[in-house]
Amino acid sequence: MPALTTPSTADAVLPLRVRYRQEMNAQIVHDSIHRREGWTLTYLCTVGGAEYQLLLDGATVATGGLMFHYNVPYTDIYMETVEPFRRRGFGSYLVQELKRCAYELGSIPCARCSPANVASRKTLQKAGLVPFAHILNGSIREE
């Protein structure tokens, strides 16, 4: 699938930026420049049109996509299954398809989730991804 880059607006990509900040789970201190008129050029980059959707009888069951924002050649897989369709294997199927797409694009698929999010972790594992790292937060006491 060829990538398509088109001029856009800060307002149009804001939902994507908000989602990215939430996934980072970190403070971003220099982000307001994108909202200032004339300070940046904003583009929307899509592969094959837009976010991937899994449909069942015309209803959206799950959505997801690939993020190529850092750490080449790895790509982050993200997905979400609509509540009434959870625990039926749709999420794992979508993750498997997203992995296939990542490989076709020459990338190595990976994903992250909170260790407390057992459902997400199991979905990723069922799709063939393996847990390999943990982020630890703590403090060092001065004695």
pLDDT, one tens digit per residue, over 48-95 is 557 888 888 888 889 998 888 767 788 889 999 999 999 988 899 899
Same structural domain, 29 and 59: no
Q: How confident is the model at residue 3 (pLDDT cuts 50, 70, 90)?
A: very low
pLDDT in tens, 93-103: 899 989 988 89
Q: E-strand spans in 2-137?
A: 3-7, 43-47, 52-56, 59-67, 74-81, 108-110
57 and 118 share one domain: yes
Whether residues 43 and 59 share a domain: the answer is no
Range of the domain at 73: 51-129
125-140 average pLDDT score: 84
pLDDT at 6: 65
Q: Are residues 24 and 81 in the same domain?
A: no
Maximum average pLDDT range among 10-19, 67-76, 104-113? 104-113
pLDDT at 83: 93
Do 64 and 114 fall into the same domain? yes
Residue 55 is assigned to a structural domain of this protein = yes
| Percent of the chain whose pLDDT exceeds 90 | 10
Number of domains in the chain: 2
- Decide: residue 110, CB within 10 A, 0-12 exposed, 13-18 middle, 19+ buried: middle
Mark whether 110 and 65 lie in a shared domain: yes
CB 65 within 8 A of CB 78: yes
pTM over 0.85: no
Shared domain check, 44 and 58: no
